[in-house]
Amino acid sequence: MGQNQQIQAPDEELELNNIQDLYKSFIMECPSGSLYLHEFKRMFGVQNGTPESQYMDCIFRAFDMNHDNTMDFIEYVAALHLVLRGKLEDKLRWSFKVFDGDDNGQLDRDELRKIVNIIYKIKKGSGSGDMCTEGLTPDEVCERIFKAVDVNSDGQITLDEFVQGVQKNPWLQNFLHLDFNPSGWVQRYLEDVCSL
């Protein structure tokens, strides 16, 4: 999910009239009204055992707001809305939530290293890894991030440090930006459902 603020073309935005079609496809896929992680991955064509799958696990947990291991339609639409139309600060706040594995409001080196390793693998697989990492190892990337955003040098990155640090650091914005195109996923899924 790209964290960079981008101007969306009208066809990339989740239009209100598409929500009805999206709801129909959601209910067809999940008649119970609950979307489970394996269905979420299948809906977006993500295979288990890939770096993208690990990242989708984190995304799913971040949008499962009531922590019931499912995503209802409201949570699903909230996720799509943020990804497709959200402001940079909102996306950064959400990204922090994805990265904060123990949900304590702070990122430690282990949490950051886990997500950096996932992002590193995704970027390497897409061919954009060397441009973003400048030949750095994942551990060196973690250290660079900590130096850039941990302003009080306490070994923990707070939400405010993360948001402000990333907003001021183009290299970090570029590293965190993943070239997933969720609007394409939604469009392909809707086209597939409509062609049945």
Residue range 163-176, pLDDT digits in tens: 999 999 988 888 88
Please give the single-letter amino acid code of residue 176. L
Instruction: Say if residues 129 and 123 touch (Cβ distance below 8 Å).
Output: yes
Of residues 10 and 44, the one with the higher pLDDT is: 44
Lowest mean pLDDT across 35-39, 71-75, 181-185: 181-185
pLDDT at 144: 92
Six-digit token pair at 120?
């590193």
pLDDT score of 186: 57
Please say if the pLDDT value at position 114 is more than 80: yes
d(CA 16, CA 117): 37
Distance spanning both ends of the chain, measured CA to CA? 28
CATH node for 16-195: 1.10.238.10
pLDDT band at residue 5, thresholds of 50, 70 and 90? very low
Instruction: Encode pLDDT of 126-180 as tens digits.
Output: 555 555 667 888 899 899 999 999 999 999 999 999 999 999 998 888 888 755 5
pLDDT value of position 164: 94
Q: pTM, whole model, 2 decimals? A: 0.67
CA distance 118 to 97: 16
Residue 194 clears pLDDT 60, i.e. is over it: no
Percent of the chain's residues with pLDDT above 90: 21
pLDDT of res. 108: 94
DSSP string, 55-87: HHHHHHHHH-TT-SS-B-HHHHHHHHHHHHH--
pLDDT at 191: 63
What is the model's pLDDT at position 16? 62
- At residue 107, the pLDDT reads 94
Name the average pLDDT for the chain.
77
Minimum mean pLDDT among 8-17, 98-107, 127-136, 167-176: which range? Answer: 8-17
